[in-house]
């Protein structure tokens, strides 16, 4: 009991437990070190650490994309075209995402016929096809697939489109310029 009294009301003397005081004091001492380290010293904030990590991963991604781009050539794509497993994978992908506009056999629908010798974009080479597939012709409705499709999957689709050349499936009338491409 404390020794003051107000209209008969007395007050107990309940001291704060020692452990509570130690935690209070401890957090105060901690805050001093925290302040000195993060606000005056060289402590790295979570936000900065995140930025540094993101920068590193962007760099790795850019290097991978560059390596993937360097690894591709007309010969490499022709190699894929000669690989039945790669072509089958490309065909499966084509059947899911390209047929809506280019038709079941690539004979053309909204998009041009891919089986004739006429090309709106490029010379019908595998590298030219790959360019259109990556960058699209967005204003005409051809999707820029490079943004969503992983490079090796995309290359297989290109290899499959390569096998369509010269099949001359009846469908959409020729568009663009004629470029005969030797197909094997
Ligand atoms: C939403 C419709 C649409 C889809 C889906 C689509 N395309 Fe196209 N594509 C087009 C259109 C439209 C063009 C013609 C662009 C132009 O007129 O310049 C085109 C053009 C092309 C060309 C160039 C043809 C030429 O004559 O130069 C290639 C190659 C091609 N697409 C491949 C693909 C592949 C591979 C896929 C699937 C991964 C695909 N497209 C999916 C609409 C589409």
- pLDDT averaged over consecutive 10-residue blocks of the chain (184 residues)? 88 91 97 92 89 94 80 91 96 97 96 96 95 94 91 94 95 92 61
CA 145 to ligand 1 center in whole angstroms: 10
Say if ligand 1 is within 6 A of residue 174 CB.
Answer: no
Is the alpha carbon torsion for 99, 105, 102, 165 positive or negative?
positive
Is the alpha carbon torsion for 36, 37, 42, 48 positive or negative?
negative
Do the Cβ atoms of 77 and 128 come closer than 8 Å?
A: no
Do the Cβ atoms of 133 and 145 come closer than 8 Å?
A: yes
CA 120 to ligand 1 center in whole angstroms: 10
pLDDT reported for residue 182: 62
By most ligand atoms within 8 Å of CB, the mutation choice from 142, 154, 159, 172 for ligand 1 is: 142
CA 61 to ligand 1 center in whole angstroms: 27
pLDDT reported for residue 103: 96
């Amino acid at each position: 009991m404390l020794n003051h009294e107000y209209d008969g009301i007395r007050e107990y003397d309940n001291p704060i437990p020692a452990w509570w005081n130690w935690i209070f004091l401890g957090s105060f001492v901690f805050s001093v070190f925290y302040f000195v380290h993060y606000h005056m010293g060289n402590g790295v904030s979570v936000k900065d650490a995140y930025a540094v990590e993101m920068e590193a991963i962007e760099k790795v991604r850019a290097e991978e994309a560059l390596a993937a781009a360097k690894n591709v050539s007309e010969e490499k794509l022709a190699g894929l075209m000669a690989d039945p497993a790669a072509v089958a994978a490309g065909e499966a992908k084509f059947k899911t995402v390209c047929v809506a506009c280019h038709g079941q056999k690539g004979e053309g629908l909204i998009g041009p016929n891919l089986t004739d010798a006429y090309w709106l974009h490029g010379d019908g080479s595998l590298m030219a096809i790959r360019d259109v597939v990556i960058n699209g012709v967005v204003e005409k409705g051809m999707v820029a697939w490079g943004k969503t499709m992983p490079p090796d999957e995309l290359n297989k689709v290109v290899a499959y489109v390569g096998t369509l050349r010269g099949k001359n499936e009846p469908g959409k009338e020729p568009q663009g310029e004629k470029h005969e491409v030797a197909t094997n």
